[in-house]
Copies of this chain bind each other. A is one copy, B any other.
Amino acid sequence: MESDSLRSPKFMRQTLRYVTYGDISAKAANMLAQPEVSDFFTRLIQRVSPKSYNQALAEVTVSQKFLENFSGDQVRFLARSFAVPGNHLGQQSHGYRWPYGPVAIVTPFNFPLEIPLLQLMGALYMGNKPILKVDSKVSIVMEQMLRLLHECGLPKEDADFINTDGITMNRFLLKANPQMTLFTGSSRVAEKLAADLKGRVKLEDAGFDWKILGPDVQEVDYVAWVCDQDAYACSGQKCSAQSILFMHENWASSGLISKMKDLAGRRKLEDLTIGPVLTVTTETMREHIEKLLEIPGAKLLFGGEPLENHSIPKVYGALQPTAVFVPIREILKDYNFELVTREIFGPFQIITDYKQDELQMVLDACERMHAHLTAALVSNDPLFLQDVLGRSVNGTTYVGIRARTTGAPQNHWFGPAGDPRGAGIGTPEAIKLVWSCHREIIFDIGPLPTHWELPPPT
């Protein structure tokens, strides 16, 4: 825990490194594409993070594709710079993406492989020297992945890996003072870190993510299925999980709620399609539901009961997939708003509806939520989409009849919007934005004008 371990801003300016990392990525992508390796990591994820085989496999697949994306010359292509002619012969300005030097990465329990791997590689691709801390409950996954990366050629001195609790890590960061710290996790810790590190951070914190169903009702079975996955896959423990659903009145007679209830009923503990909640106890969730049901017009749509026949320890939560209806006019009242939009990191969502002339109320509610991570706008009506998109700010926003809030892949940006500290993950744009800064180098080599004469001072 010596701060010098981070101090090496001269690190990795050699061109060759870009080529090496293309090779490492190609090899690691190929290893992770082997069925036995993929299965190993999928089951390892399941051992520490309660999710179904397919949900865990999705992490491995996204990681594998990400590594493929930065094979060959694609790492050096990330370092692409630009140049513009200057004011006179011999002058030219160059804009580079430059590494920060020593950086830190802190990632949470719910995606033990995907989040730390993608951010770690992004930091390395751009030429930084990262130290990585993964939530200690799940860090074994990344520990195994680092061994795989070393096998594929990652030099051991390029990245540091630390196993510790959050408080110690906070002390470490304050002492080591890295040039940049990427934090993925709870809003509370994010805000504290931002102040502690005086803003030298990029953040991807949790969000109270919304979905709006537009006026054009269609493909109800499909929409119900997407709602079920968005709200309850991984027992709702994704930062992109659907927290609130706004239904246009036209959906009232579509049977959507009843279909969602049926789908929720398919989930079972045996295959972890529903399972333990790591950061909220059953009791806390049930108290929250009770409070919500005191709001006039509120009602329990389905769920609400504890899971049965299980050995989940009391420190964790165990709740059926649950939905509570609250009228939109009640949500907007000042004394209800904070309660209704409290994020429960578990299998729980709020459902409400709105009339044709109440869209403004929906947008007001969305704007008042404090984090703006993912959102979904289920409609194929172009004028409706245009209107809502133009008046909202969520970072990763899915629109169209197939819109979802979860399941972001490696091929598009994932991250919040509206905050200068917001991080992204995985795409070339995200890597460049999070893991490098602009540096301008202006070449001005002459020659001097033929008859240059000393000008007066100014």
Contacts and interface: CB of A to CB of B under 8 A. Distances in A.
25 contacts: A10-B390, A13-B391, A15-B91, A16-B87, A18-B85, A22-B68, A79-B85, A82-B82, A90-B383, A90-B386, A179-B420, A195-B195, A199-B420, A225-B455, A233-B457, A395-B438, A397-B440, A400-B443, A400-B445, A401-B445, A402-B446, A403-B444, A404-B444, A418-B437, A424-B438
A399 interface: yes
B72 A72 contact: no
Number of identical protomers? 4
Given A386-B445, A448-B222, A200 B420 contact: yes
Contacts of A267: 457
Nearest to A15: B85
A208 interface: no
Nearest to A321: B457
Counting chain B CB atoms within 10 Å of each CB, the highest count among A273, A421, A445 belongs to A445
Contact of A86 (B15, B263, B367, B443): B15
Contacts of A76: 84-85, 411
Given A89-B386, A391-B13, A222 B452 contact: yes
A69 interface: yes
Interface string A10-29: 10011110110010001001
Contacts of A257: none
Interface in A70-109: 71-74, 76-77, 79-95, 98, 100-101
Contacts of A87: 15-16, 19, 409, 411
Counting chain B CB atoms within 10 Å of each CB, the highest count among A14, A58, A84, A446 belongs to A84
Is chain A's interface secondary structure helix, strand, loop, or mixed overall? mixed
Given A100-B420, A266-B457, 16 more contacts: A18-B85, A52-B458, A55-B458, A69-B71, A69-B72, A76-B411, A79-B85, A100-B419, A179-B419, A195-B199, A201-B420, A221-B454, A395-B438, A397-B441, A420-B437, A424-B438
Contacts of A72: 29, 65-69, 71, 410
A458 B229 contact: yes
A382 to B, nearest CB: 5
Contacts of A73: 65, 68-69, 84, 410-411
A240 interface: no
A118 B413 CA distance: 29
A438 B445 contact: no
Contacts of A246: none
A135 interface: no
Interface string A192-220: 00110111111000000000000000010
A47 interface: no
Contacts of A98: 393, 417-418
A447 interface: yes
A412 interface: yes
